[in-house]
Amino acid sequence: MTTDRTNNDRFARLASAILEGEATPAELAELDALLLADASMRDEYLDLCRLHSELGFAAKSSRAASAAMDALETAMGSDETETSEAPRQKGTKASGKKKEVVGSSSPRPAPVTLQPTIGNFLTRHNVSVGMAAGLLFVVVVLTWAAVTYLPGMASKDEPADGDSNYVALLSRRDRVVWLDGTRPEANRSEVVHGQRLAFESGMVEIRYRTGATVVIEGPADFTVGKKAEGTEAQREDNAGFLKHGSLVARCDTRKSKGFAIHTPNAYVVDQGTEFGVDVDKRGAAEVVVLSGEVDLVREASEAGPEERMRLTKNQAASVEPESRAIKRRSTADVQLASAMRSRLKTIDGGSAKADLVTQLGILDLRFNRGINPATRRRWKAGDTYRLIFATSTGIDATSADIADYNAFIQNAANTSPLGLGSVKWKALVSTEAVDARDNTSTNVTVNGAGESFWLVDGSSLVADNYADLYGSDTRASKINISETGGATLATPNNWGHTWTGSDETGVEKANDALGAGDGTSVVGLCNFKTHDHWIDRFGGTAQTNKYSLYGVSEVLKVTERTTPEPSGETRGKAPQDKKSEVRRSRSEKDKE
């Protein structure tokens, strides 16, 4: 029966067309008839759809926060019924536009978004650009952690003291491939003292009852408590033991102060902070402090007395197994940065070109797998791109002079802690005299295919080119980072109303341009999770309201690095590093 099923070429072709978004209505009807007639084929179809979905999720495992989870977290945090209405009100322009096929055009399953936490994070912690490169692994992990945070979770929802025996809760696991039978029981999230979590790949988040949150990236071997599983140790409920792997810890509650991460050769004691720890299989540890302070301690032994070093924000240090000394690592330490970079490459696909720099230093070329979306080739010197944000403050739409809006945007950029003010910015708005696409030089007819657009977190792709920006791509509806690197003016009530005065092609919306005589204009919605109403959502909105504007940068350049980057890593290469090399060589082969 199975052989018959899989050999049914027609079924296979039709199912494939569905998965690739290429099926016509006639093909859908044909598949409908086939599936109705054959139960085993229905099973096969369901299995194929599951595989299709799992592959899509697996491929983007480091960007695990889907739109569904975003909405869910909001609902869980607020329990406001109006939140649950949001998804139902969205349009379906994308599917509606593709009349010839019944699915969407790409084989890509669930769009999975990277939330704007990298930008937020860097801003919040004043991490310099140089340091940021070295810390990107940690930041990516922290990003994953941050999107899992319910508002106020650590403080308001701190678990009440009770008689439960658990130390922490397994609050998220994403694409985890467990090792050594450490997979936790299904439907149980409690983690008890001494419980080991060993996994080959994926990410795990656990929340201690003290309020400390730890995000661990595989491959890793972690035990809740002070020592490795099976070893004698006094019970310690505010600690973990990282035998090897990478983690980021956040300790921002009163009870979590003193949270400790033990490693084979040293331990880190938190003093109210966020920090990252990376331990290789030899037991060598690197510690980076992202905020606050930690103490890095090497315990006294026969070989010598206790060594202790206080590390503060943006400081790093390492401990080697063969040496008792704790070595301070400067932020410019190439070896540390290089090691961190190699781990980031594992997450992002290992396709970045280290000899390129981006104007403003915000765009990280490692995202999108190192591919320039506009050229569909690897980034190279001379490539160009643009940045886009939605303002953190509002302006009314009563002026008919586009210069007023451009000034508002440039002023926002000038005050940006991200340093956006060193380039020119324009408002993506239309007045009756000037269309948004002309004001921002994004008119395909005049300006050509154009550049890709990225959020100012430097990692979130908004559009591949100008046509894509004004197309139905839902990515544009996630312009949810402001010039501050933090939140836009969006609120739960307005979903990010943003003045545009434009229709979906970037042209003045008839009678609804900014400053139009009837006192109303059109808004789009930034920060709206899944649909493409970023530019044209509500007409007839009173111009006296103060809403965000979208700001678009001038064309920015990718150039060769002017100072050569020293090379060399202190560590042996992890298996995944080798994978990255294989991936790189495959890609280069394809290019040929």
Site for other proteins in 501-560 (CB under 8 A): 529-531
Amino acid at 506: G
Evaluate whether 59 touches 53 at the Cβ level (below 8 Å). Answer: no
Beta carbon of residue 311, minimum distance to other proteins (angstroms, whole number): 30
Binding residues for other proteins restricted to 173-192, rule: CB under 8 A: 173-178, 183, 186-190
Binding residues for other proteins restricted to 276-335, rule: CB under 8 A: none
| C-alpha distances in Å from residue 544, one per residue of 129, 230, 327, 346, 406 | 39, 67, 59, 49, 18
Binding residues for other proteins restricted to 385-404, rule: CB under 8 A: none
Show the tokens assigned to 539. 């007409």
Beta carbon of residue 451, minimum distance to other proteins (angstroms, whole number): 18
Contact stretch for other proteins (CB under 8 A) within 90-98, 304-312, 430-438, 513-521: 90-98
Cis peptide before 321 (omega within 30 of 0): no
**Quick one: 46 or 381, whose CB is closer to other proteins?**
46
When asked if residue 475 is in the footprint of other proteins (CB under 8 A), the reply is no
**Quick one: 67 or 319, whose CB is closer to other proteins?**
67
Beta carbon of residue 43, minimum distance to other proteins (angstroms, whole number): 6
**Quick one: 200 or 554, whose CB is closer to other proteins?**
200
Amino acid at 53: S
Closest CA to 520 of 540, 546, 504: 540
Contact stretch for other proteins (CB under 8 A) within 122-130, 156-164, 227-235, 433-441: 156-164
Cα separation of 587 and 592, whole Å?
9
Beta carbon of residue 98, minimum distance to other proteins (angstroms, whole number): 9
Beta carbon of residue 320, minimum distance to other proteins (angstroms, whole number): 32
| C-alpha distances in Å from residue 201, one per residue of 66, 197, 575 | 19, 12, 11
**Quick one: 302 or 592, whose CB is closer to other proteins?**
592
Q: Would you mind telling me the total number of residues written for the chain in this entry?
A: 592
Beta carbon of residue 209, minimum distance to other proteins (angstroms, whole number): 9
When asked if residue 114 is in the footprint of other proteins (CB under 8 A), the reply is no
Evaluate whether 537 touches 531 at the Cβ level (below 8 Å). Answer: no
When asked if residue 16 is in the footprint of other proteins (CB under 8 A), the reply is yes
When asked if residue 55 is in the footprint of other proteins (CB under 8 A), the reply is yes
Radius of gyration of the chain (CA): 26
**Quick one: 435 or 468, whose CB is closer to other proteins?**
468
Amino acid at 59: A
**Quick one: 158 or 451, whose CB is closer to other proteins?**
158
| Number of residues this chain uses to bind other proteins (CB under 8 A) | 106
Instruction: Lay out the site mask for other proteins across 200-229 (x = CB under 8 A, - = otherwise).
Output: xxx----x----------------------
Cα separation of 128 and 213, whole Å?
25
When asked if residue 46 is in the footprint of other proteins (CB under 8 A), the reply is yes
Cα separation of 396 and 48, whole Å?
51
Evaluate whether 361 touches 129 at the Cβ level (below 8 Å). Answer: yes
When asked if residue 105 is in the footprint of other proteins (CB under 8 A), the reply is yes
Please, what is the angle between helix 9-19 and helix 25-37, to 10°? 130
**Quick one: 6 or 415, whose CB is closer to other proteins?**
6
Evaluate whether 493 touches 551 at the Cβ level (below 8 Å). Answer: no
Amino acid at 150: L
Binding residues for other proteins restricted to 70-89, rule: CB under 8 A: 71-73, 75-76, 83-84, 87-88
When asked if residue 169 is in the footprint of other proteins (CB under 8 A), the reply is yes
Label the pairing between strands 239-250 and 213-224.
Answer: antiparallel
Beta carbon of residue 179, minimum distance to other proteins (angstroms, whole number): 10
Closest CA to 458 of 426, 489, 481, 490: 481
Beta carbon of residue 89, minimum distance to other proteins (angstroms, whole number): 10
When asked if residue 141 is in the footprint of other proteins (CB under 8 A), the reply is no
When asked if residue 107 is in the footprint of other proteins (CB under 8 A), the reply is yes
Binding residues for other proteins restricted to 120-139, rule: CB under 8 A: none
Contacts of 46 (CB under 8 A, 6+ apart): none
Beta carbon of residue 224, minimum distance to other proteins (angstroms, whole number): 15
Contact stretch for other proteins (CB under 8 A) within 51-59, 385-393, 395-403, 441-449: 51-59
Please, what is the angle between helix 39-59 and helix 25-37, to 10°? 120
Cα separation of 305 and 320, whole Å?
16
Strands annotated E in 415-509: 425-427, 452-455, 461-463, 497-499
Q: Could you say which of 10, 30, 80, 94 contacts other proteins (CB under 8 A)?
A: 94
Binding residues for other proteins restricted to 337-376, rule: CB under 8 A: 349, 368-369, 371, 376
When asked if residue 196 is in the footprint of other proteins (CB under 8 A), the reply is no
**Quick one: 238 or 416, whose CB is closer to other proteins?**
238
Show the tokens assigned to 491. 């609120």
Contacts of 318 (CB under 8 A, 6+ apart): 284, 285, 286, 287, 326, 327, 329, 336
Amino acid at 306: E
Beta carbon of residue 18, minimum distance to other proteins (angstroms, whole number): 5
